[in-house]
Every structure is written in structure tokens, then in C-alpha cells.
A and B are shown apart, each in its own frame.
Chain A
Amino acid sequence: MSTTAKAAAGTADYLDQRTGVGKAVKEFARKVFPDHWSFLLGEIALYSFVVLLISGVFLTMFFVPSMALIEYHGQPASMDGVLMSEAFASTLHTSFEVRGGLLMRQIHHWAALLFMAAIVTHMMRVFFTGAFRKPREVNWIVGIVLMILGLAAGFSGYSLPDDVLSGNGLRITDGVVKSIPLIGSYMSYFIFGGEFPGEDIIPRLFTVHILLVPALILALIALHLFFVVLHKHTQYPGGGRTDKNVVGFPLFPVYVAKAGGFFFVVFGILALMGGTMSINNVWNYGPYDPSPVGAGAQPDWYMLFLEGSLRLMPGQTEYVIGGYTLSLNVLIPAVVIPGLLFTFLIVYPFLEAAVTKDKREHHVLDRPRNVPVRTGLGVAFLTAFIILALAGSNDLIATHFSMSLNAITWVFRILFFAGPVFAFWITKRICLGLQRKDRELVLHGHETGRIVRFAHGEYIEVHRPLDEQERWLRVNYDAHRPLEIEPAQDARGVRRKGYKKDRRMQRLSRFFYEDRVEPVTPAELAAAHSHGEHDTLAGAPEHQEIGSGAPVGGGRTIVSPETGPDEQNR
């Protein structure tokens, strides 16, 4: 035994005697994780959070969370001799005098934007593949809370340098808070310690940004990952992958290297961005002063949807009721709309389970096409989100595409309602189309481009049947049917309790599953093959095909997909 091995064994023995760590190592070292690029989206979020912690600790060493006014002397020239808060001055000091300070600031900010972008794409992956289904509903909620905390972390950090841009963001926050009925004014005082902006908000946000929110995020990330280990990771459908197993590579060594390596890739790309692309150059905006505002006054991208929602709302909806002012023109876009969006995300897994009457555990992911309504709703949701974010950028759209700001606003007002509906409809149609394409492929095989002439002069194209792995991929799903409910009255003609509720659920269920494409059954495949010697012909050398005289199922008899209840119900 080498000395290193001896030392390792000694340490392991010491630790195990005191912690029983051997059991954990045995349990987890070779734990299997499935391999797919989309499973790394969550890791991007996790790693950008780690980068945020590392760069954030660096920044706290130099940041002064104080609103006390001082006259700044130093770089850049446009800030020399300007009166500003210590928070802003220390941001300038970090950027221009601390070596690597500007790099760290930029890495930190890019990491924050990436963190939210990765969270959103990770959520999209989870949503569209149905990974939120039982037993993972709770973890989906944990994820949504993490996303909301991410928004809080981003917004509080964005405001810390006390510049004109973020100061106006805080002012908008103040305006939104004031619009809350009854308690608005007091909420505003609660946040700012008096009137806006006061002298407390930066220190308060600092505590929120470096203690409260990161601590919560860390705790919830731990919970999130604990659930991943507990449930074992989901896997994409394929041969040998079932709800009862997990197929992939062991944690040690493959994922230690792949996931560990990916951390360095994420950090490396963030370093590259921080070193080459400027972000949030606060000296451009200047220290906060309530008078100025810059064109292009926008929040970071993940808050743009709120900005857009505020921009789109017409002002007529402010009412005075009994002498009290109800600002629906602010409440609806800034409180109700985001409330609806988040509620949809939280409720969706439970809604889908209810209309599907599905109580099983699911570990094999859905292909998005196989659940057309879910996919459609997801795309509709994203469409609404994107339209709001674009509306939040309407001034930049106007200048970059030479259009009228007012016209763009009107177009987005209409699109906000029409866009998601259209997106839902078209997505659902595309999904159903892809499912039919799958059926056709399973029944008739791939087109080969080889044209064959029969002795009697008929031309057909040879189709190559699917191998069993590919076929399995395309047939292995459940086409759920709408719920069937008990009649309104029982056998004795007594009205049944709960019938109305069932009926509502059934209507919803019909919305989900009325249109569907059933997977091909072995019987259907056999029937398709009996049209001709599909397999033998396709596999045979070409010269034999000519004149073989056997009619072939493909090409000529393009599928009339027996899509079952789908067409019948229309």
C-alpha cells in the first residue's frame, strides 16, 4: 500500500468511526443519473448561483451600504467631484481602483442574469416534459419559490449601487406599493422607513440581498436537490427505460467529472462575459437624484414583463370610490397579472393530475408532442410572457425598427390577448400533426428515396421499416381520454352530491383530451404490413425488387391515420 492510500484509508476510517460516512458513500457514490443535455439546464442555474456567491463575497469586501452623501474624487472623469451616496462611490471605487473589481462586478451581474435565464429554461424543460407529475409536484413548487426568490435577489442587488436607473426602478416600486388599497401608504413607509427615497433603503436592501434572500435560496436549493436524489432523476423515454428503473451513468466518476467540469465551464463563460462585455456601468447613469431619468429606463430582463404590463395598461381604470382612490391601472398590471401567471404555474400540476385522474408515479418523461394541450398551454404562457417583455422594451423596438411607439403599444395590447390563444391553437395542431407523423412512420416506415418500378409499370417508393428502438420511442405513450363521470342521478333517481363538480372537471378534461392521437398498436402495424411484404422487399437488393410484383404499403397508400376518437368527436 502506498503512503497516499494508507493516509486516505486512515482518514476514511477516522471519519467513518465517527460519522458512519461509509454508508453514505456506498449509497451515493455509484448512484445512477441519466444523461441528457436538457438535464444540465438546472445545473447552469445552480452553478451561476455558486458564481454569484463567490463574486458576491468579493464585492461585499468593498461595497459600503450607506446613503450618506460624499463628494467623490477619482475615476471616471465624469464623476470627479460629484456629490453621491457612499454606496455609489464605493461601487465606483470597486470598479476603477480595485484590481479585478470591475471584472467581479460584471461577472456577478452577468451571473445574475444567467441565473434567472437558466431557471426559466429549466422550468420550461420540466414543464414540457411533464417532469412535475407525481411524485415531483412538491419539488415543482420549491422550484417556483426559488424562481421568485431569484427575482427578489436580482431586484435587491440591482438597486444597491444607488444609481439613477435603479433608483427610478425603486421609485416605480414605491408607486406600485402605494396603489395597494388601504395599506399602500403604510407599506411604502414600511419599505423606505419614511418617504421615498429616505436614507434607509440601501442598507435594508443590502441585508435582504446578502443575507435574507441568499440564505433562503441556499436552503431551498438544498431541499430541491434532496428531492432530486430522493426521487431519482427522471429519464427520457427509450428502450429499457421505465417508471421502475433509472438508466444512466454513475455519479462517481462520470458525473463528478461531467457535472464538476460543467461548473468550470459555466464559471469560465461568465468570466469571459465579465471580461469582454460591459454590464450595468452605473457611472453612465449617475448617482441617484430624483430629477433625472434616462431613455431606455428598464429593469433587468426578468422584470421586463412587469414593466411591459405596466406600459400596456390604459390609464382609464383608476377609480374614486367614496372618496378613496383605487388605482386599477397600476394594480392590475403590477399585482394581478403576475399573480395570475404565478398561480397558473403553481396550480398546473394539480390541475393536470385532476383532469387526468392520474395517481401513478411518473419517472419517464413525456415527449411534448404526446401531451398537446399541456404543450399548447406552456407555449401560450411563454407567448404572454414574451409579449409583456417586448412591451417593456417598446421604446427600443420603436427606435431600432423605425416604428411608432404608440402603434407598437396598441399592437401589443391586442397581442397580449390574441397571441397566447393563437399560440395555443397552433402549438396543439403542430403536436397532433407530429403524433400523426409518428403513426405514419411506425406503420409505413421511413421514406428511402428509392423508387422502384414493377413489371406492370407501377412505380412505388420503398419504405424502410423502423427498428424496434425507434418504433418503441414512437408508440410508448398514453393517449389519455376525457374523464368519465357517474350520472347525475343514482339508480333510484336521487340527485348525486358532487355531480356539478364532477361535471366541471369533466368539461376541463375534455378540453385537455378530446383531441388526441392514439399510439399504434401491434394489431394496426400487422394490418399495415399485410398490405404487402414490406419488410422483405425493403431489405432485398434492388434488382430483385423490379418485377417482384408485390404491391407495397408505403408511398402509394399514404396513411389514412385511424386517429380514432379524434376525428369522430370533431
Chain B
Amino acid sequence: MSDHQHSSEVGTTSSNAPGAELERFDDPGLPEHKSRMADRDPKAAKRAERQIVVLFAISVIGTIASLIVYFAVPPGETTASVRLSTLALGLGMAFALLGIGVGAVHWAKTLMSDHEHVDERHEQRSSEEVRAEAVKALTDGAQDSGIGRRGVLKGAVISALALFPLTIAVPLIGSVGGDWNVSKFRHTRWERGMRLAIDPSGRPIKAADVTIGSAVHVIPDVSEEERLSHAWITEKAKAVVLLVRLDPRELKEAEDRVGWSYDGIVAYSKICTHVGCPVALYEQQTHHLLCPCHQSTFDVADGAKVVFGPAKRPLPQLPITVDDEGYLIAQDDFDEPVGPSYWERLK
């Protein structure tokens, strides 16, 4: 044991200030060791030992308790019973673990030697001789292989190694993106004459059902079968629309969009033009539509233009009208891709 060893290097450390060595204090060496209560007093040591035994015993009790709980407290059928089961198992486990942890640390702190040891450090760098030998080993090896002289061979090896990953990468990349047909972003499930249906019930909605101040989340009126298929989720991800009715006098409509609304009812894509969250938070007094993800705010009364936040473009509008029975229908699909911007969006 090398307690309180005071190596000769200790004291001055070099500094980039010239002549610093002369101006520095000397290292006083390791501080004096202070003995603990358990070192001085055998009674204290005995007491600590008892405490540690108790802690490990708590752990055993915790384990037994959690086993009993496992059999005796089933999760049951209610929120409260699941909570009780989780709580009881968790507490048993926590005691089982903390008993061991606290016991072991207490043991180390009170009874194991607390005399500090000193180890030497060595520089990471290899000595000059070792380095020379390493360089020699490499040059000898290179010489042996003759890689330096055989240029064509070198080229062949490199080409082979560089090319073989393609045998994995090409099949992977070919299939990993499905059909790679990214033009699907441009179209949604909406088509001419398709009824607007309430999300999630799927009931078609009449214009008369949309009163002023209401906001209705709608989806295309497709068959029940389609609505329960998985492919529907991907279609729905583009097709969700928010329907709002305003006082027609408050509605500002761009000239090229006159006729896209019906008696103050307007339909906008619910997919944010920022990064695609559902923009669903409609404040009926201000006609503002807020995205709860990044707070882009759109003015529904004014072409869903951005009034605040990180989005740039207005929400795409779905042109609507009513059919003979008074149901709201789409005049057509959206005339632009819905959702976040992407590079070739306008192409």
C-alpha cells in the first residue's frame, strides 16, 4: 500500500508563462488522513455492521413482498386496481433494490478501508523505440505484400472492396421506399361529387347541419370497408378537412376561388403547411385556426392565410358545393398538394 505517497514530480507544473516554475507554490502533498468513527470505536463499527445487515434484510423482505403482491394483487378491471397492483409491485421492487444498494454503499463508506491509494500515470504516447518498431512492422508488411509495386493489383483490390456493398445496397434501396412514386403527394382521396362525412362516425353532412360558429372535422365519404382498411389511414392522412361556417359577410374570398365555398361554409385541409400536424384548433370568435404542434395560425375568414407562426403558405382549400339532397360534396380534389412543402412541390 502506498498511502500518502508523495512523488517527486509533485509540486510545480509547467506553464506556458516563462519562468513560472520559480513563481509557484509547492504542492503540500496529500492531506492528512482523518479516521472515522468506526475506525476509532469498535462499538460504532459494530453498529454500522448491524445497520448494513438490516438494509440487506430489507431487500429480502422487499423481494418477498413483491412476490406475494404478484400473486395476491391482480391488476383487476378498474383503473384503481391496476394502479394498486403497479404501486405494490413497484414498492416491493424498490425496497428489494434500494436495500442492496444502500447497504453496499454504507458498507463501503463505514467499514472498508478509507485510506487513499496512489497509482502512477504514464503518458499515452508510445516510446520512440516502440514507435520505430511499429513503423518497421508496417513497412515490412507492405514490402512483403508488394502493394506499392503492383499498381494494377492495388486498383483491383480497391475496386472490389468498394463495389461489393452495392450487392446489398441496391436491392435494399430498390425496395425500401415501396414503389418510389413520390407523385402520390399530389393527390388525395377527394374527387368530384364525393360527399363530406363527419370524422370519425362517417355520417355524411348536410349544409344545413353546419351552423354558424361550428367546426366540423370531415373525411371523404367512402365505403365502410375502405374506412376499416389500413390503406385508409394513409389516405386519411392527406384527406382530412376542417369545415367551418362563417357569416358570409365576414368571408373574404380570392377572385379565383369564388364559388369554392357554400353559403359561408368553407373547407380547408387540416394538414399544416409547416410540417404536417393536424391544424385543428379553431377559435370561432376570431376565425383563427391554430396548430397545437408549432402554433402556426391561419385566418379561415381570409383564405386561411398565415397570421402567426412558422408556416408560410395558406392551407389548401377544398372546393365544395351541395348535391340535390342538400349534402355537402367536393367539387374536385385539392388543386395543390396538401401538407408540408417539399422540393419539387410546384413542378
Tell me the A residues contacting B by CB distance below 8 Å. Answer: 30-32, 67-69, 75-76, 83, 95-97, 99-100, 102-103, 106-107, 135, 168, 171-172, 174-176, 178-186, 188-190, 193-200, 230-232, 238-250, 253-255, 257-258, 260-269, 271-272, 274-276, 288-297, 307, 310-318, 320, 323-327, 329-330, 333-334, 356-358, 360-361, 363, 394-395, 405-406, 409, 468-469, 471-472, 475-476, 478-481, 519-523
Mark the stretch among B74-82, B151-159, B255-263, B320-328 that contacts chain A: B74-82
Q: Within 8 Å CB of B109, what residues of A?
A: 258
Are A194 and B104 touching (Cβ within 8 A)?
Answer: no
**8 Å CB contact of B17 from A180, A199, A472, A481:** A481
> CB within 8 Å of A: which of B265-312?
270, 272, 274-278, 280-281, 292-296, 306, 308-312
Q: Within 8 Å CB of A200, what residues of B?
A: 178
**8 Å CB contact of A193 from B9, B75, B178:** B178
Q: Within 8 Å CB of A32, what residues of B?
A: 117-119
**8 Å CB contact of A238 from B31, B98, B344:** B31
Q: A232-B121, A254-B108 are in contact. Are A469 and B237 (CB under 8 A)?
A: no
B339 proximal to A (CB < 8 A) = yes
B345 proximal to A (CB < 8 A) = yes
Q: How far is the CA of A356 from the CA of B124 in the complex (A)?
A: 20
B113 proximal to A (CB < 8 A) = yes
Q: Within 8 Å CB of B7, what residues of A?
A: 242, 244-245
Question: What 0/1 pattern do residues 92 to 109 of B give for CB contact below 8 A with A?
Answer: 011111101111110111
Give the shortest distance, in Å, between B1 (CB) and chain A (any CB): 9
Which 7 pairs from chain A and chain B are nearest by CB? A275-B90, A175-B275, A261-B104, A264-B101, A194-B178, A268-B97, A240-B30
Give the shortest distance, in Å, between A396 (CB) and chain B (any CB): 11
B164 proximal to A (CB < 8 A) = no
Are B217 and A291 touching (Cβ within 8 A)?
Answer: yes
Q: A197-B237, A315-B296, A318-B341 are in contact. Are A185 and B105 (CB under 8 A)?
A: no
Q: Within 8 Å CB of B149, what residues of A?
A: none
Give the shortest distance, in Å, between B30 (CB) and chain A (any CB): 3
Are A314 and B310 touching (Cβ within 8 A)?
Answer: yes
Are B312 and A316 touching (Cβ within 8 A)?
Answer: yes
Give the shortest distance, in Å, between A85 (CB) and chain B (any CB): 8
Closest to A190 in B: B177
Give the shortest distance, in Å, between B226 (CB) and chain A (any CB): 12
Give the shortest distance, in Å, between A51 (CB) and chain B (any CB): 10
Are A295 and B119 touching (Cβ within 8 A)?
Answer: no
Q: Within 8 Å CB of B24, what residues of A?
A: 475, 519, 521-522
Q: Within 8 Å CB of B344, what residues of A?
A: 185, 324-325
Are B276 and A172 touching (Cβ within 8 A)?
Answer: yes
How many chain B residues touch the partner (CB < 8 A)? 111
Show 12 A/B contacts (Cβ-Cβ < 8 Å), sorted by A: A185-B343, A186-B177, A194-B179, A200-B178, A240-B31, A242-B9, A245-B119, A271-B90, A291-B236, A307-B293, A521-B24, A521-B25
Closest to B275 in A: A175
For the complex with contacts A253-B108, A290-B236, A307-B293, 8 further pairs of A-B residues with Cβ separation under 8 Å are A32-B118, A179-B340, A194-B178, A195-B237, A262-B105, A271-B93, A317-B312, A479-B17
**8 Å CB contact of B177 from A95, A194, A199, A329:** A194
Are A242 and B108 touching (Cβ within 8 A)?
Answer: no
Q: How far is the CA of A106 from the CA of B124 in the complex (A)?
A: 44
Are B97 and A189 touching (Cβ within 8 A)?
Answer: no
Are A475 and B182 touching (Cβ within 8 A)?
Answer: no
**Most chain A beta-carbon neighbours within 10 Å: one of B112, B117, B236, B240:** B117
